[in-house]
Amino acid sequence: LQQRRGLRLSAPAAIQVTVRDALNQALDEELERDERVFLLGEEVAQYDGAYKISRGLWKKYGDKRIIDTPISEMGFAGIAVGAAMVWLRPVCEFMTFNFSMQAIDQVINSAAKSCYMSAGFISVPIVFRGPNGTSAGVAAQHSQCFAAWYGHCPGLKVVSPWSAEDAKGLLKASIRDDNPVVMLESELLYGVPFEMSEQAQSKEFVIPIGKAKIERQGTHVTLVAHSRPVGHCMEAAAVLSKEGVECEVINLRTIRPMDIETVEASVVKTNHLVTVEGGWPQFGVGAEICARIMEGPAFNYLDAPAVRVTGADVPMPYAKILEDNSIPQVKDIVFAVKKVLNI
């Protein structure tokens, strides 16, 4: 009616939401929507989660849906996989994905391979989620990225959100998926607020697994990243724009299956590629992207070799100055772009 009268309608209401609150919202909505969904992990119930992702859920849904477990990753991951095999939908939280190495046999041999080994008879609709990659001041055993580790394995889907919308939409899609999904979150992003659109505030908002997002349009070089480094790429693109270099920033969102088509289309347009990740260089996500580009039709459009920006090839140091120099910074991305453009 207002449109017929020629009145200007206000824009849809967007709000600021932290990644932590977006994850909490997604869990709450899926627990409410489907009684088969339950959450288990260390301190997820009475303590509201080590990072407060599950805040308020135990009081709302009780002991049967929000389950505190002993400090035994292999044990509770195995319980979760078994529950998924009988068509419950567990969300298994690792306090950090570094601890998932205690349960990697359950994640790979029990969850990832069962559908194939049973000729499709056994599905395992489970989500393994928690903080991944660099934290702050927690040294080598708590600061590594598992994107390449789990992205290597057939039978798994692997997602890696950046923004609050990514976190909510990908978690809801992961819970609804009939396959095992590994969701790699960033502890350093939990408290960061992002704008969430009116559409993303809907209870039915999901982001399709396997689809990247172009966060910034550009014409000179393609930057591809996932998780926290997407933000670094956006900052680097803003710096470079002042010097006349327009970067196209792709938020990969999903590690497996990888949306290489979106990357290819961008490379065809920009003729240059830089990949950015917090993980180690050898056999990393960037190495896979570069190989796929080299093997595909976009290779013929490259005007220079692709360049990778990665974490240093060392266990994470404890000292802050060494830690800062072991992970990609905005200046490293700017340097890489200038190198690939020969400026």
231-288 pLDDT, tens digit per residue, is 999 999 999 999 999 999 999 999 999 999 999 999 999 999 999 999 999 999 999 9
Q: How far apart are CA 339 and CA 137, in angstroms?
A: 31
Mean pLDDT of 214-228: 98
- Tell me which residue of 89, 109, 110, 87 sits closest to 32, measured CA to CA: 89
Q: How far apart are CA 273 and CA 303, in angstroms?
A: 9
Residue 288 maps to a domain: yes
Region at 185 (left for phi over 0; alpha for psi -120 to 50; beta for the rest): beta
Q: How far apart are CA 157 and CA 213, in angstroms?
A: 17
Say yes or no: 85 and 225 in one domain: no
Which of 142, 173, 201 is the last residue in one of the domains?
Answer: 201
The encoded tokens of residue 243 equal 């010097």
Chain center to CA of 253: 5
C-alpha distances out from residue 286 to 52, 58, 280, 306, Å: 32, 39, 10, 10
β-pair partners for 249: 216, 223
Say yes or no: 271 and 310 in one domain: yes
Say yes or no: 132 and 248 in one domain: no
At residue 137, the pLDDT reads 87
Domain count, the chain: 2
Catalytic residue status for 232: no
Residue 311 maps to a domain: yes
Give the CATH number for residue 268.
3.40.50.920
Residue 6 has pLDDT above 60, yes or no: no
At residue 2, the pLDDT reads 47
At residue 11, the pLDDT reads 52
Q: How far apart are CA 315 and CA 280, in angstroms?
A: 9
- Tell me which residue of 106, 105, 104, 234 sits closest to 163, measured CA to CA: 234
Catalytic residue status for 42: no
At residue 135, the pLDDT reads 87
Which of 154, 174, 201 is the last residue in one of the domains?
Answer: 201
Say yes or no: 185 and 234 in one domain: no
Residue 217 maps to a domain: yes
Given the residues 73, 187, 248, 277, select the one marked as catalytic.
73
Say yes or no: 71 and 179 in one domain: yes
Residue 191 maps to a domain: yes
Residue 71 maps to a domain: yes
Say yes or no: 80 and 185 in one domain: yes
Residue 131 has pLDDT above 70, yes or no: yes
Give the CATH number for residue 32.
3.40.50.970
Say yes or no: 72 and 156 in one domain: yes
170-215 pLDDT, tens digit per residue, is 999 999 999 999 999 999 999 999 999 999 999 999 999 999 999 9
At 10, the pLDDT band (50, 70, 90 cuts) reads low
Which of 201, 225, 253 is the last residue in one of the domains?
Answer: 201
Domain span at residue 312? 213-341
The helix-helix angle for 285-295 and 260-270 (nearest 10°) equals 70
Q: How far apart are CA 51 and CA 48, in angstroms?
A: 8
Given the residues 29, 30, 93, 142, select the one marked as catalytic.
142
